[in-house]
Structure 1
Amino acid sequence: MDEDRSHIVDPTRPTYVYQQVADDIAQQIASGRLAPGAMLPAERDLATQYGVAYLTARRAVRELRGRGLVVTLPAKGTYVVKQGAT
């Protein structure tokens, strides 16, 4: 997940930017591109990849946790915990 994904985010869409980022990551999880146990990039790295603010990436990760797709372990990182549906 190191590639530039800034093309995914469209601030003119009637959807919050953090939601667009979370939806894209959720789609990658559902497709198997991000398998259970895979570690997500750090929030600052996600922000760079998607071309968004750090706090937007943080909110996207919180959204994914709320959906039950990832878990964050302090000082360890954020990991995919299950396959999900978008």
Structure 2
Amino acid sequence: MDLRYAYVRLADDIEAEIRSGRLPLGAALPGERAMITQHGVSIDTVRRALKVLRERGLVTTVPHKGTFVTGVPGEGPAAE
């Protein structure tokens, strides 16, 4: 049984998609409503997961545009 909080699991799942290249640099993440439906979680869980991904330096959110991949795990100055 996975004891991580739902938002951490979601953030880790999205990070894995970025790491695998399924969500490449510059790609838009699905919208909040799509993630709610796709992952069966609440809006709060989605927003907390996106916050974690921003803190990890993997995505940026542009108001009224969406959330985009801006970093790849293991690349860039933080990995050196």
Question: TM-score, normalised on structure 1?
Answer: 0.81
Q: 2 CA distance for matches of 1:48 and 1:21?
A: 13
- Aligned 1:2-81 pairs, distance under 5 A: 13-81=2-70
Q: 1 CA distance for matches of 2:47 and 2:32?
A: 6
C-alpha displacement of 1:14: 1.3
* Paired amino acid for 2:13: D
2:71 aligned partner: 82
RMSD (CA atoms): 1.1
Question: TM-score, normalised on structure 2?
Answer: 0.87
- Could you list the structure 1 runs, at least 4 aligned residues long, displaced by more than 2 angstroms after superposition: none
Q: 1 CA distance for matches of 2:2 and 2:67?
A: 27
Q: Number of aligned pairs?
A: 74
What is the CA deviation profile of residues 2-34 of structure 1, one whole-angstrom value per residue up to 9, with x for unaligned ones? xxxxxxxxxx52100000000000001011110
